[in-house]
Amino acid sequence: MDIDSIKTEKDVIKALKDKTQFEKDVLVATFRIPKGKVSTYKRIAEKIKKPKSYRAVANALHKNPLSPVVPCHRVVKSDGSFGGPEKGAEWRRNMVIKERVTVKKGKVKISSKNLY
């Protein structure tokens, strides 16, 4: 499946046929984050009913084969910072800024207005 043809959750699930159920759950939950909003690794873990698995969520997103269609750039640490190597963190930070998410001193300013 061509990444540009992915438009729905069903398309995402179909494109992830070789992933574990956990990875599928994480990536589908991330796909649901609307433009201009962010979530945290912890909130994604809670949404998929695995509240203590936020580090595994980060690992699953690190291996996201459908970026940016599955917008892993919209998932940040609970303090609003961007995890991972600086080059990738910089790319994700720039992506959310383009989507009009407020970033101050390198961190997302998390509020009820922008949190999914």
Q: Go through 25-39 and write b for each residue having 16 or more CB atoms within 10 A of its CB, e for each that does not.
A: bbbbbbbebeeebbb
Residue 1 tokens, joined: 């499946």
Residue 45 falls inside a structural domain:
yes
The total number of structural domains in the chain stands at: 1
Note down the domain range covering 94: 3-108
Contact 30, 44 (CB under 8 A): yes
Instruction: Give the C-alpha separation, 92 to 97, whole Å.
Output: 9
The answer to the question of residue 99 being in a domain is yes
Beta bridge mates, 107? 104
Q: Residue 52 falls within a domain, yes or no? A: yes
pLDDT at 85: 86
DSSP state of 82: -
Half-sphere exposure of 16 (CA within 13 A, CB side): 27
In a domain, 54, yes or no: yes
104 a catalytic residue: no
The candidate with the shortest Cα–Cα distance to 101, out of 15, 9, 23, 39, is 39
For position 1, what pLDDT does the model report? 75
Catalytic residue among 72, 76, 96, 101: 72
pLDDT tens series, the chain, 116 aa:
789 899 999 999 999 999 999 999 999 999 999 999 999 999 999 999 999 999 999 999 999 999 999 999 999 999 999 988 889 999 999 999 999 999 999 999 999 999 99
Quote the pLDDT of residue 104.
96
Give pTM, 2 decimals. Answer: 0.93
- How far is 28 from 34, CA to CA, in rounded Å? 12
Query: Residue 42: its pLDDT value, please?
Result: 97
Task: Identify whether 116 is part of a domain.
Answer: no
The reply to whether 113 falls in a domain is: no
What CATH number should be reported for the domain holding residue 37? 1.10.10.10
Phi, psi dihedrals of residue 82, rounded to the nearest 5°: -100, 125
